[in-house]
Copies of this chain bind each other. A is one copy, B any other.
Amino acid sequence: MIKKFLFIGKNTKISDTVKFGYNVIIEDNVVIEKNVQIGHNIVIKEGTIIKAGSVIADNTVLGKEPFKASNSATTEKRKLEPLVIGEYVTIGANCVIYRGAKLEDGVFVGDLASIREDVVIGEKTIIGKGVTVENKTTIGKFVKIETEAYVTAISTVEDYCFIAPEVTFTNDNFLGRTEERKKYFKGPTIKKGARIGANATLLPGIVIGEDSLIAAGAVVTKNISPRKIYAGVPAKEFGNVPEEQLLKNQSYYK
């Protein structure tokens, strides 16, 4: 264990097989299991748990508390669970991952990504470079979310889905107006194995059916049936997903 320029808080449990870069800041009550690799200039906030074999790249912040507007007298700070990073998770450089998130075993997070509180990311899922996963969102296992996609709050992405680069999820049909809208806040639900093409836009609360396919650039304004292809603005049906592309016919599907 290299210990140069390493600041370790109180009540931490850190395996002596952990490898640290320079200038690592570890706050109180952190747990780091065996064979974890921590890069340079990394900040690990209070209570974070990192399980065996994970790798964290330079300049990343783990376990950030959500900020409330600092002049608010009324909003009470909710107590969040610590950030939990599973076994053999890989996290890129310059990421920001919040307290109250849970990354299951084998998750991969690209550089410059951010993951908010109250998020669970299933095993072996890939979160691309610069992706945002907002709060109260659940992502399944073996999902791929590609570069700069935006997954809004209160969304669901089930197992084996594919979200292409620059896809945009939304959750507010009222764009910030009316008090009543708050009852309807809801992101999209992407059912098992569905795939969303590059730069597509999904309207609030939409359900994308199992194994269906949304073409690049589409704007989806209504629910999509399973195993259908939709394209255009607004998106219209273009037929069935080809048999050989269905999830059940893929070698990696278990």
Contact = CB atoms under 8 A, between A and B. Distances in A.
A64 B169 CA distance: 31
A67 B150 contact: no
Contacts of A130: 112, 114, 130, 132
A43 B59 contact: yes
A31 interface: no
B176 A162 contact: yes
B96 A96 contact: no
A162 B173 CA distance: 12
Contact of A43 (B58, B114, B152): B58
A129 B150 CA distance: 10
Interface in A204-230: 213, 216-217, 219
A148 B147 contact: no
A136 interface: no
A143 to B, nearest CB: 10
Contacts of A74: none
A69 to B, nearest CB: 6
Given A40-B25, A88-B70, A177 B201 contact: no
Nearest to A113: B112
Contacts of A121: none
Copies of this chain present in the complex amount to: 3
Contacts of A64: 57-58, 93, 111
A166 B168 contact: yes
A28 interface: no
B112 A96 contact: yes
Interface string A159-177: 0001011101110001111
A156 interface: no
A245 B180 CA distance: 10
B94 A94 contact: yes
A41 interface: yes
Contact of A148 (B105, B150, B203): B150
Given A55-B67, A106-B71, A165 B175 contact: no
